[in-house]
Amino acid sequence: MIRLFAALAIPPEIGRPLQTRQAGIEGARWRSLEALHVTLRFYGEIRQDVARDLDAELMTITGRPFEIELAGAGSFADGDEINAVWAGVAENAELRRLAEACETAARRVGLKPEKRNYRPHVTLAYLRRPDPAEVAAWIQGNNLLRSPPITIDRFGLYSSHMGREGSHYRLEAEYPL
C-alpha cells in the first residue's frame, strides 16, 4: 500500500514569502518549504497495482500551461476543532479542469469519488486545539495575502510518509502540461 496524492508544487520564490507568515499560533506545526503544495486530488492508501494504473491514467491528462495566484488566508473547521491554516488560491477555471481530470483518473482505476468540494489552498500549518483567538488574529493579519502569478506547466504524483515531525512527501512521477 502507498499513500498518494496529485499536486502542484509551490516554487521556492513563492514559498519563502509564505514562510515569513508562519508564526503567531502557539503549537502550530508549520510546513517546510518542500512540503508546500496545492493538492489536486488526494487518493489515499492504495495498492501498488492500482498506483501503476493511476500513473498510466494521469499520463493521459492533457492541457496547456496556465497561471494561478495565491489569494487570502483561512482555516479549516471552527473553534476547538480548527485543524489547519492555509493560503487560498484565487478562482481559476484551468486549475479546476486539472483537478477534475485527476478525479476522473481516480474513478477510472476504481477509486471512490471524492465527496468534498474542491477548495484549492496551500496548507501552511496543522493545528491541534489552538486558541481560536490566535487563529482569528493570524487570519486577519494574512487575509490580504497575494502572490505573483505562478506558472503551472506540470503536476506531480506524490507519496506521503508519516514521520515524527508529520508527513514527508516524495515526488513519484511528474506530468507535463
Cell numbers placing 118: 474542491
Rounded to 10 deg, the angle between the 48-59 and 93-108 helix axes is 140
Catalytic residue among 37, 89, 98, 145: 37
With the CA atoms of 96, 100, 101 and 107 taken in that order, what torsion angle do they form, in degrees rounded to the nearest 10?
A: 170
Please state the rounded mean pLDDT for residues 63-71.
97
Q: Which of 5-9, 95-99, 122-126, 164-168 has the lowest mean pLDDT?
A: 164-168
DSSP 8-class letter at 62: -
Q: Distance between CA atoms of 76 and 65, rounded to whole angstroms? A: 29
Q: Is the pLDDT of residue 105 over 90?
A: yes
Please name which of 139, 173, 148 lies closest in space to residue 158, comparing C-alpha atoms: 173
Please state the rounded mean pLDDT for residues 128-138.
96
Q: Is the pLDDT of residue 165 over 80?
A: no
161 is catalytic: no
37 is catalytic: yes
pLDDT tens string 27-61: 999 999 999 999 999 999 999 999 999 999 999 99
Number of domains in the chain: 1
Mean pLDDT of the residues in the chain: 96
Contact 73, 138 (CB under 8 A): yes
pLDDT at 84: 97
pLDDT at 82: 96
pLDDT at 80: 82
Q: Which domain holds residue 147?
A: 2-176
Catalytic residue among 8, 87, 121, 135: 121
Please state the rounded mean pLDDT for residues 118-122.
97
| CATH number of domain containing 73 | 3.90.1140.10
pTM of the complete model beyond 0.85: yes
